[in-house]
Amino acid sequence: MIENILTKVYGSAVFGVEATTITVEVHINRGVGYHLVGLPDNAIKESNYRIAAALQNNGYRIPGKKITINMAPADLRKEGSAYDLSIALGILVASGQIEAELLGSYIIMGELSLDGSLQPIRGVLPIAIKAMEEGFKGFILPKANAKEAAVVEGLEVLGVENISEVISFFDEGIAIEPTVLDLQAEYDDLFENGLVDFSDVKGQETIKRCLEIAAAGGHNLVLIGPPGSGKTMLAKRLPTILPPMTLNEALETTKIHSVVGKVKSTGLIKQRPFRSPHHTISDVALVGGGTYPQPGEISLSHNGILFLDELPEFKRSVLEVMRQPLEDREVTISRAKFTVTYPSSFMLVASMNPSPGGYFNDGHAPIQNSNMEMQRYLSKISGPLLDRIDLHIEVNPVPFEKLADSRKGETSVEIRRRVVAARNIQTERFKNYKELHHNAQMTTRQIEDFCHLNKESKKMLKEAMERLHLSARAYDRILKVARTIADLEGEADIQNHHISEAIQYRSLDREGWLYG
């Protein structure tokens, strides 16, 4: 047995969506004891029991000496069971049971079962990116996570099923086949045969047009209509007409989902997320946080859609915490010793009934509500939140004749072509603006630069605002939407009919809307 030996193994910790390299230092000397320091949580403190059983079941053992393990930097909190493999290898090398000259060339992470097999871990993609940035040769990790790490090109990713494979690799030089992912091929294979398509929707031509505009400009949207009018069905089909994610967007999205362990075995998330939390969700679950902060639903919706069904049923406090992420497109969570930031650039799509009973202005409805009840119901949605929603559209039930029509409507693929063409125009328009990608993100200054109105259009907008009693906050929203409608038609300038159509999509801004 070799004594007084110091061995270093490299692992990684994830904070927010960024990784920090952790050095696991193992020192063995005369005496008896097992000391684990460096702010480990309970899962790491319990690792000695898992490691002892795993080593014994594979022909090795924890030496009966004084073992000191430090996880540096020591002032940074470490959590989770993913350091089992790092600590186990450090003990084996420090005690002289195996040789491992290349140990310092790899990031090594994995949770051990008692038989030595490795369980999947979280945050693999941020760890792999950090390993590449810091010049490590490779990343040794559980085989179940290998494809996710292989998204990072130029890093040798060695997926293993058991600690014995890692020991053989270092001690005996037995090669492990690297996991290789054809990233471009994975990314190109975007549009599988989906279960939902706009061709399934009967009627609702105006609503489909509104959804197309929302997708083309990245606009937030609220659908207002009675139960059974198809609000949820329409919302679930919106992702099928959104532009495909760029490679950078796919990597950003995968990174966030990796932190919470929601990446599937394919490695790269290629479809835009569609998250639909229940209205009983808490503030923390929606925005993110916790003792050890994790991304919430709005960050998991990054580059995709957050769908809030029955919007007024959500707690007001939950809705209010979305205001900052909708404006800044990121969430910052502060704790006493650290602050993490999660990206949250998403489209908000909401649905709601026009009244508590669901049947506004329908004399034959089974439930009638007073004007006061309807005012109270809609007041659950604050003005500042409503101010961040560009499109309000009323959804009416589909007549029987439309439902019985066997003809198929326009497919999602056809609609998506127009959406992509409009987005390409916006990409060219905003090429000099780093954080600006589509019309919905325009500020007042950019609206002045890119939403010029002729004399007739200005007159029409002024008359509409006065006649329909539109609020002042509707002005910018109408211009943004009109700009998107013009882009869909390939028009350089906003025309009268673009303004006219945009005005239709501001139902909730009209004074007296509740009273018909």
Please tell me which residue, 360 or 61, carries the higher pLDDT value: 61
Confidence class for position 513, pLDDT limits 50, 70, 90: very low
- Whole-number pLDDT of residue 181: 83
Structure tokens belonging to residue 382: 């604050």
- Whole-number pLDDT of residue 186: 62
- Whole-number pLDDT of residue 187: 58
Residue 132 falls inside a structural domain:
yes
Instruction: For residues 157 and 178, give the distance between their C-alpha atoms in angstroms, rounded to a whole number.
Output: 5
For residue range 112-140, what is the model confidence (pLDDT) as tens digits? 999 999 999 999 999 999 999 999 999 99
For residue range 284-321, what is the model confidence (pLDDT) as tens digits? 899 888 777 889 999 999 999 999 999 988 988 888 88
CB proximity list for 478: less than 8 A, separation 6 or greater: 461, 470, 499, 502, 503, 506
For residue range 476-503, what is the model confidence (pLDDT) as tens digits? 889 999 999 999 999 998 999 999 999 8
Residue 413 falls inside a structural domain:
no
Q: What is the CATH number of the domain that holds 30?
A: 3.30.230.10
Confidence class for position 515, pLDDT limits 50, 70, 90: very low
- Whole-number pLDDT of residue 408: 79
Segments forming the whole domain that contains residue 158: 5-181
- Tell me the helices (H) and strands (E) count for the chain, helix number first: 22, 18
- Checking if the pLDDT of 204 tops 60, the result is yes
Residue 207 falls inside a structural domain:
no
- 227 residue type, one letter: P
Residue 338 falls inside a structural domain:
no
Most confident of 331-335, 469-473, 492-496: 492-496
Answer whether 342's CB lies under 8 Å from 255's CB: no
Lowest mean pLDDT among 203-217, 323-337, 370-384: 370-384
Contacts by residues 127-131 (CB-CB < 8 Å, ≥ 24 positions apart): 127/12, 127/14, 127/19, 128/152, 128/155, 128/157, 129/19, 129/255, 130/12, 130/18, 130/19, 130/20, 130/21, 131/12, 131/19, 131/21, 131/107, 131/155
User: Within a 13 Å sphere around the CA of 500, how many CA atoms are in the beta-carbon half?
Assistant: 5
Lowest mean pLDDT among 97-101, 180-184, 361-365: 361-365
Answer whether 223's CB lies under 8 Å from 397's CB: no
Average per-residue pLDDT for the chain: 87
The b-or-e profile of 239-256 (16+ CB within 10 A means b, else e) is: bbbbbbbebebbbbbbbb
- Checking if the pLDDT of 475 tops 90, the result is no
CB proximity list for 289: less than 8 A, separation 6 or greater: 283, 296, 333
Confidence class for position 512, pLDDT limits 50, 70, 90: very low
Residue 115 falls inside a structural domain:
yes
Name the residue with tokens 């001690």.
171
Structure tokens belonging to residue 114: 């008692």
- Whole-number pLDDT of residue 357: 58
Please tell me which residue, 325 or 335, carries the higher pLDDT value: 325
- Checking if the pLDDT of 436 tops 50, the result is yes
- Whole-number pLDDT of residue 85: 97
- Checking if the pLDDT of 426 tops 50, the result is yes
Residue 509 falls inside a structural domain:
no
- Whole-number pLDDT of residue 34: 93
Q: How many domains does the chain have?
A: 1
Answer whether 247's CB lies under 8 Å from 187's CB: yes
Per DSSP, the residues of 242-288 read: SPPPPHHHHHHHHHHHHHTT---TTSS--SPPEE---TT--HHHHHE
For residue range 348-396, what is the model confidence (pLDDT) as tens digits? 999 988 766 555 544 455 555 666 766 777 777 777 788 788 999 988 8
Residue 379 falls inside a structural domain:
no
- Checking if the pLDDT of 205 tops 50, the result is yes
Confidence class for position 47, pLDDT limits 50, 70, 90: very high
The count of residues in the chain is: 516
CB proximity list for 419: less than 8 A, separation 6 or greater: 212, 215, 216, 241, 242, 243, 488
Answer whether 484's CB lies under 8 Å from 216's CB: yes
Residue 499 falls inside a structural domain:
no
